[in-house]
Each structure stands twice: as structure tokens, then as C-alpha cells.
Amino acid sequence: NYTTDTKSREENKKTLENLYSLSVDITKIRRLKEWVLLQDVAYVKEIAGILQEMGADETTVASIIERCPEAILHTPAEINSQRALWQLVCQNEKQMIKLIEQFPESFFTTEYQQNQKANILFFQELGLKNNIITRFLTSAPNIFYNPVEKNKNVIETLQRNYLNLGGSEANMKIWILKLLSQNPFILLNTSTAIQENLEFLQKNYFTDQEVLQLLSKLKGFIFQLNSTTMQKSMLFSKNIFKCSDQELKQLVLKCPALLYYSVTVLEERLEGLLKEGISIAQIRETPMVLELTTQIVQYRIKKLSALGYDIKSGNLESLNGTKKDFEVTYGKIQSKKERPIFNPVAPLHVED
């Protein structure tokens, strides 16, 4: 815990000198986290030395300190411990420096080292590859701050439910690893919340097989929801599409976004589609279009319209999918439009 009372204190001259000698842009630090410059003790040279030992050049060292100034407030011992920790999963120090440069705050959060180590070892035992664990360390560092028992508890709840829903023992490991690699944030939920959400789906007449299907489609996001929001979203969809419980269930299986997005998001997206002249009947036929933001839908409609493709009278399938999927669809429609119609009996115009 560092003081943030900046008015009554002066910047540490020694810290400033050491930062200047490393060509660090101090104005960036003043703008970002000036309080770092006010601390009585800083380890500028030592931290820079460790980073250089690992293969960082002067520009990289400066970039890391500018982006994460509090790095210089950690003791060399703390940073060396963190270095040893990341060595458990990084191929080499060259890769580690690359990651630190991209995600300095993840590396310089040293308060939970015991939990971090226990969780790294647990994930390795579970069968997660090191490249996936390094991705977690950088993009989802919070999951390593949990006590390992908490993460184990969530994984055990998932495994138990997978088997109870009819999943096979043989596929369970693959399922868990896929779920985790798609969405590591499920570990930030409690096992009680996971249980409640699964029970909500079963109470809404989804069969065990369908619940398993939804879990895979939602990539674990279902565990970040709660029964109240899911209930509201389903009721909204039922009223909009004027469908029975059974029909609603089929729509949700087709498009889990109807379960995942809040009523506000669904309303905004529906409104955007209706403004483009698309009918409720078309949306009901292809509900997956609600997974796209209004901006994406408008952009895609504009591109297709330029080719003379009328989305109002056609199928919405052409709007669906990832950016890559859409580019493929667009390419097919474009080449179809540009392809000349061959008339076998037309005379050939041959120049003399």
C-alpha cells in the first residue's frame, strides 16, 4: 500500500535520476501514476537490471516502466520470485520478456505468489498446456489470486454436473479443458452459482442433453449469469416472437444469446434490425443475428446492398457468423454477381 497524498510531498530525486538514465519518459509516469515518483524507496536500477538479464533491451525496459511504473517499487527478491514462477510455464526468458512488455501489470502483481504457484501447478496437473496457462496469466490474472482450493471446488462442481447431465467420463477431461481455455473467468464464480444456473435450465424444461449442448455453445458464459436475468431475457423473447415454451426452447438452443444477453441489449439489437426493414419473422427464423452488434449488422447490410443483395426479402443467414465467415459469404455473392452468363449459341467476336 503506497501513499497517494501528492500535495505535501516532493518527487524522489534519486528515482528521477535513475529513470532519466534509462531514457524513461517521466512525463508519462507523472500523467499515469505520479504517486510512484513520491515514494522514499524505489528499485529502478535493480528492476531494470533483472529485465536486462532476461534479455530486454533499453527501449523495452523503458516501455515496461512507462506502462507499469509501480514495477520499480517491488524489491528485487519479489521480482526474482515472480520470474521463477513464470519460468514454470514460459518456454524461455525471451518469451517471458515479450509477455511482460505486453502485460506488465500481470507480471508485477506479486502479492499472491503462493496462490499463483499453487494454481499454476494445479492447472498443469489438470492437463492444461503451458501456452494456455501463460495466456491465463496475462489475460485473466485474477484467477490465480484465488486460493487453489476455490478453483478446485469450481472444477469439481463442473465435473460432477457434466457426469450428472449424461456426459461420459472419457470426454469429461476434454470438455473441462475446452471450457476453461474458452472462458477461464468461470473460475471467478462460486460453485453455488453454477449449480443454481444449471437447475434454472432444468426447471425450464431443457433436457440434460440440451443443457450440455448449451454449456458447450455458451463457452461457460452461462456461469456468469443468474436465474433472474435469464428469466427476464427468456420472457422478453417469448413476447417478441409470440411463441410457446417449446418453441422458445428451440430458439434458445439455436441462439444461446437469447439467454445470455440482457433485455436492454436484446431490445437495442432488435430495434436496429427493424430499422433496417428486417421483420420479426425473419429474425425468428435466424435468431443468431442477435449475437451481432447493431454497428456490425449495419456495416454488413451496407456491403451486401452495394452488391444489389436485398436483405429485406432474403435470408438473414448471409449476415451471420464471425468477420471471417461474413467475408466468405460476401465473396461468394460478389463472384456470383460478377460471373458472366455463358450463352453457348452466341456468336464469338473475334478480331481480324
Q: What angle do CA 325, 327, 332 make, to 5 degrees?
A: 100
Instruction: State residue 1's pLDDT score.
Output: 47
Given a contact cutoff of 8 angstroms between Cβ atoms, the answer to whether 235 and 259 are in contact is: no
The tens-digit pLDDT sequence of the chain (352 residues) is: 454 454 447 999 999 999 999 999 999 999 989 999 999 999 999 999 999 999 999 999 999 999 999 999 999 999 999 999 999 999 999 999 999 999 999 999 989 999 999 999 999 999 999 999 999 999 999 999 999 999 999 999 999 999 999 989 989 999 999 889 888 998 988 888 888 888 899 888 899 999 988 887 777 777 778 888 999 999 999 999 999 999 999 999 999 889 889 999 999 999 999 998 899 999 999 999 999 999 999 999 898 888 888 887 777 888 888 888 888 888 888 887 765 555 555 554 544 3
- 127-136: long-range contacts at Cβ-Cβ below 8 A with a sequence spacing of 24 or more? 127/173, 127/177, 128/177, 128/180, 128/181, 130/89, 130/90, 130/91, 132/180, 132/181, 133/89, 134/86, 134/89, 134/90, 134/95, 134/99, 135/181, 136/184
Task: Decide: residue 126, CB within 10 A, 0-12 exposed, 13-18 middle, 19+ buried.
Answer: middle
Domain boundaries, the chain: 10-110, 226-337
In this structure, are residues 282 and 316 in contact, taking their beta carbons and an 8 Å threshold? yes
In 3D space, the residue among 141, 53, 143 whose CA is nearest the CA of residue 103 turns out to be 141
